Chains A and B, each alone.
Chain A
Amino acid sequence: MSNQAVVSLRNVTKSFGSGGVTAVQSIDLDVRPGKFVSLIGPSGCGKSTLLRIVGDLVEPTSGEVVVNGKSARQARLDRDYGIVFQDAVLYDWRTVAKNIAMPLELMGWDRARRAERVREMIGLVELEGFAEHHPWQLSGGMQQRVSIARALSFDPALLLMDEPFGALDEMTRERLNGELLRIWEASGSTIVFVTHSISEAVFLSSRVVVMSPRPGRIAATVEVDLPQPRNADTREEPRFFELVTEVRDRLREGGLDEDRTAPGEGELVRTEESS
């Protein structure tokens, strides 16, 4: 059981609308427990759509999706995953503590247990002293940490992250990358992470899945053999640069196909970004 894939996609295809714009096509992917897997690719390659299919927020047109050994829908109903979007999407009428407690309230945890867990999570994302603040009183990076704490509060087996640091400045992003690795190690959860930053993908992941656009397909998979734990020095190592170069080359190979299909398919991009 422990070695069974947390996420398993077989021949998954998603088309939007009757026009049949294909967002992702024939995706096969396995994510083993405790792994950190990144999906990387240019805008319009369907990586966000793929993440939303795993979360049962979008239904695939065809193919099989197994999450935690059950259908994606059942996994969602069993609250097997937490999700973090590009924006923190905090409920701004709730304090930091009550934002983190929201899923716990919905799951019927009693007040004492909620308070206990919220305190733990605030410690995990290092926001001590901000429990009673409202979201608008926090910086963007702090808001995103609240969002991560909320996603992990109920201890899901799987964490889905859709470009969570994409809206942050470079310095904040690198700091939160380091924190995310620490949180990942502490929580032992499995993470599927969507990004369009090559260095971020290499720095964080056990495996980088490179996608190509129109229709979205898996172009290559790059195993990242950088040792754990990783820190700021990891970014200076020669092996880090080799892997960054490899991912960039794979992206470029996938991108050549894009030129042949020509521009003007903005519809697909819009579908993904509005999602």
Chain B
Amino acid sequence: MAYAAPAPARPRLLRSERVREGALRVSLFLVVLAVLWVLWEGFRFVAESTGLRIGQFEANDRTMPHLHDIVGQLFEPSRRNGPLLIDVLWDAALFTAKEAAVGFLLGALVGFGLGVLLAHSGLLQRGFLPYIVASQTIPILAVAPMVVVWVNPRLPDGLKDWGAVAVIAAYLTFFPVTINTMRGLQSVDPRALDLMRSYASSRWSVLWKVRVPAALPFIFAALKIAAPASVVGAIIGELPASIQDGLGGAILNFNQYYITSPTSLWATNLVAALLGISFFLVVLLAEKLVVRRAPEHVA
């Protein structure tokens, strides 16, 4: 008998089409980058040549360094006869990345576990959810010193200091993961659950074979928020932990020399942003590999 043609929900792309789509994306990225560059430099040029002031704000080398100066600063020595700034920041970024990555994994696991627990018990949900929400309304700057004081003395030597920072990063990570895991686990089509009941399957099977796969798009949406947040958490956590080796230490340091070398701080911020973006991209890649859902279910 004849078959109905498969619905063209996600047409397979030919290689040439994929190359073209890739090229389109790269050029779009470059165009937007160019537009931002033009806006920044254009504003500065206009403001400088017309003497425009907005309140106290005046565009100059200190408030709005040229973008090429910021990038150029990366390839200058960080101090007299010292290594290049980019080498210093590379090492700092790696250090912070370690804290953030460990914190992210810890937070994701704790967040997922909490989400599963709360999704299965209305009582626990009503009891604990308000406190979980409240935990996120306390500024991270207020929590970080306490975490350092509490956690650090209990850590083995290999984890000292940076381990406490990872816990702070985890603190920012777990919340969106918990909320979305909960929501995702409850998003299952009730008839899919009826079906599982008709197979007399255990709660455990229902969780791993139906609820969690159905929740994955929600969980990944949360992980995409949490990944850059874990970098922010790590950078902020380095301040009360008095860690000098990471980006937080670098930001604090260059902040003190802002008057003489504003581009150093801007360059450090640039590196911090790139670190956050690369965390995001890793999650995006993982999502592409893991989530096999109809296109309308994938953000």
Q: Which residues of A contact B (CB under 8 A)?
A: 52, 55, 57, 76-79, 81-83, 85, 87, 89, 91-94, 102-103, 105-107, 126, 130, 133-139, 141-142, 172, 175
Are B199 and A91 closer than 8 Å at their CB atoms?
Answer: no
Chain A residue nearest in CB terms to B201: A106
Give the interface segment out of B76-84, B116-124, B205-213, B244-252: B205-213
- Judging by beta carbons under 8 Å apart, are A137 and B10 in contact? yes
Residues of chain B touching chain A, judged by Cβ–Cβ distance below 8 Å, are: 1, 3-7, 9-10, 189, 191-192, 194-201, 205, 209-210, 213-214, 216, 291-295, 297
Find B7's partner among A89, A102, A138 (CB 8 Å cutoff): A138
Q: What CA separation (Å) do A198 and B5 show in the bound complex?
A: 29
Which residues of chain A are near B197, meaning CB under 8 Å?
57, 76
- Chain A minimum-CB-distance residue to B196: A106
Q: Which of B4, B5, B9, B194 contacts A57 (CB 8 A)?
A: B194
The answer to whether B10 touches A136, judged by C-beta atoms less than 8 angstroms apart, is yes
Contacts of A92 in B (CB 8 A): 293-294, 297
Contact of B199 among A93, A106, A136 (CB under 8 A): A106
Which residue of chain A has its CB nearest to the CB of B296? Answer: A136
- Given A82-B198, A133-B6, answer yes or no on A91-B213 (Cβ-Cβ < 8 Å): yes
B198 contacts A139, C-beta separation under 8 Å: no
On whether the beta carbons of B213 and A55 are closer than 8 Å, the reply is no
With A76-B197, A103-B199 already in contact, the answer to whether A139 and B4 are too (CB < 8 A) is: yes
Of the residues B3, B6, B196, B200, contact of A137 by C-beta under 8 Å: B6
Query: With A83-B195, A136-B7 as given contacts, are A93 and B1 in contact (CB-CB < 8 Å)?
Result: no
- Shortest C-beta distance, B163 to chain A (Å), equals 36
18 pairs, A vs B, C-beta closer than 8 Å: A57-B197, A82-B198, A83-B195, A83-B198, A85-B194, A89-B189, A93-B214, A93-B216, A103-B199, A106-B196, A107-B199, A134-B294, A136-B7, A136-B9, A136-B10, A136-B294, A139-B5, A172-B4
Closest Cβ–Cβ distance, residue A98 to chain B (whole Å): 10
With both beta carbons as reference points, the residue of chain A lying nearest to B291 in the complex is identified as A93
Q: Which residues of A contact B198 (CB under 8 A)?
A: 55, 57, 76, 81-83
CB closest chain-A residue, reference B9: A136
**Chain A residues near B216 (CB-CB < 8 A):** 93
Closest 4 CB pairs of A and B: A136-B294, A139-B4, A93-B213, A136-B9
User: Which A residues are in CB contact (< 8 Å) with B294?
Assistant: 92, 134-136
